[in-house]
Amino acid sequence: MAHKYESGGFLEHLGGKVRALRTASGRSIQELAAAASLSPRFLSQVEAGRGNISVARLARIAAALEQPLHSLIPASKNDASLRGRVWELVETSTAEDLEALRLWLASRQQRSLPHSIALVGVRGAGKSTIGKLLARRLGIPFVEFDAMLEREAGISLVEMFAIHGESYYRQLQHDVMQQFLATSPRVVLATGGSLVTDRETWAMVRRQCRTVWLKARAKDHWDRVAAQGDIRPMRNNPSAMDELKAMLKSRVPLYSQAEMTIDTSRHSPEQSVSLIARAFDDKKGRERASHSTRRRPAAARGAVPAKLR
């Protein structure tokens, strides 16, 4: 007699999830089968709901799809438990919903989540200089995200754009950032100047990090980049300054979404570090006080609250 998981549509639902994820990834059955070290025939049977796949093989498919194993396993429609009903909602949640849920659960369980500090701004704003000083003051690592991208790709950003184009760069930027934020301890992170123009990646950084926009006058950006010995953005381009001013103006609405703004044309690196450290220390203190005043009996708690580019 067939077990309920064999006769109750479980394998069909499992196959449907595998097929949907494969299609979303843009791969053929042959390509996914090769990546998972399976035969195309067996993978076809799995997608059709006729392959009684082992956990080990399912894990290989999940790894090839770059998905967690649990995302391939369909929730039982007959699971009336509270955990089952919650899981059904979790399965259809957006990234924003999941992050909000994670933060709420951490607050409810009084867990402290490590929030990195992400510095944003156009090249020449002072992200590296201020980032290193801030990291030293806080006693945490400093990370240059562009350098991380170059190590991941094995080529420079200039070569990446020339060979693969902007779409490849944006996808790599998103994937590397997602993995980094999921596994990294608290750091000070200097992001690439154009990160804010990638809506999904910028939203992810804002959800998971304290964000600081380091702004400056166009001339200061220009002079600082030139002082670094890089005159490529200006060479043989008489309208380079006008283009820089236009780019800065166009990105103001995006950079303004950061939690905090520091004008590095008005403040020295040391002053900027003090302002950032003090602001986030004060905010942490207010959050701790807020948590302590909101604590009440469990029965009463309820509502879920690239270079001058």
Binned at pLDDT 50, 70 and 90, residue 76 comes out as low
Residue that the structure tokens 């959050």 belong to: 287
Q: Residues 103-142: pLDDT tens digits? A: 788 777 766 666 899 999 998 899 999 999 999 999 999 9
Look up the domain containing 156 and give its range: 116-289
Decide if 108 is inside a domain. no
Separation of alpha carbons 233 and 250, rounded Å: 18
Q: Do residues 123 and 87 share a domain? A: no
- Laid out side by side, the sheet with 142-144 consists of 142-144, 188-190, 116-120, 209-215, 260-263
Task: Work out the average pLDDT over 13-24.
Answer: 82
Decide if 248 is inside a domain. yes
Q: Do residues 67 and 206 share a domain? A: no
Q: Residues 163-219: pLDDT tens digits? A: 888 888 998 899 899 888 888 889 999 999 899 999 989 998 998 899 999 999 988
pLDDT of residue 73: 77
pLDDT of residue 83: 72
Burial of 181 (0-12, 13-18, 19+ CB in 10 A): middle
Q: Do residues 87 and 120 share a domain? A: no
Q: Write the CB contacts of 136 (distance below 8 Å, at least 6 apart in sequence).
A: 142
Separation of alpha carbons 69 and 127, rounded Å: 38
Q: Do residues 257 and 176 share a domain? A: yes
Decide if 59 is inside a domain. yes
The dihedral built from the CA positions of residue 30, 31, 36 and 37, taken in this order, carries a sign that is positive
Residue 142 maps to which CATH number?
Answer: 3.40.50.300
43-62 burial, b at 16+ Cβ within 10 Å, e below that, comes to bbbbbebebebeeebbebbb
Decide if 107 is inside a domain. no
Beta bridge partners of 74: none
pLDDT of residue 201: 92
Q: Do residues 169 and 274 share a domain? A: yes
Res. 92: pLDDT tops 60: yes
Q: Residues 272-298: pLDDT tens digits? A: 999 999 988 755 544 444 444 444 444
Tokens matching residue 149: 């991208």
Q: Do residues 71 and 32 share a domain? A: yes
Separation of alpha carbons 207 and 202, rounded Å: 9
Tokens matching residue 298: 């469990």
Q: Residues 208-262: pLDDT tens digits? A: 899 999 999 988 888 888 777 665 655 666 677 888 889 899 999 999 999 999 9
Q: Do residues 123 and 254 share a domain? A: yes
Q: Which of 58, 91, 124 lies at the terminal end of a domain, its last residue?
A: 91
Q: How many domains does the chain have?
A: 2
Separation of alpha carbons 225 and 235, rounded Å: 12
Residue 30 near residue 40, CB atoms below 8 Å: yes
Decide if 275 is inside a domain. yes
Q: Do residues 79 and 133 share a domain? A: no
Q: Write the CB contacts of 205 (distance below 8 Å, at least 6 apart in sequence).
A: 118, 120, 177, 181, 191, 195, 211
Q: Do residues 197 and 241 share a domain? A: yes
Q: Do residues 61 and 127 share a domain? A: no
Separation of alpha carbons 222 and 244, rounded Å: 8
Residue 33 maps to which CATH number?
Answer: 1.10.260.40
Separation of alpha carbons 223 and 231, rounded Å: 10
Res. 303: pLDDT tops 70: no
Decide if 80 is inside a domain. yes
Q: Write the CB contacts of 194 (distance below 8 Å, at least 6 apart in sequence).
A: 306, 309
Q: Which of 91, 108, 129 lies at the terminal end of a domain, its last residue?
A: 91
Separation of alpha carbons 188 and 144, rounded Å: 9
Q: Going along the chain, which residue ranges are E strands?
A: 116-120, 142-144, 188-190, 209-215, 260-263
Q: Do residues 136 and 35 share a domain? A: no
Q: Do residues 131 and 247 share a domain? A: yes
Residue 308 near residue 122, CB atoms below 8 Å: yes
Decide if 269 is inside a domain. yes
Q: What is the DSSP string of 146-187?
A: HHHHHHHHTS-HHHHHHHH-HHHHHHHHHHHHHHHHHH--S-
Separation of alpha carbons 140 and 276, rounded Å: 14
Decide if 57 is inside a domain. yes
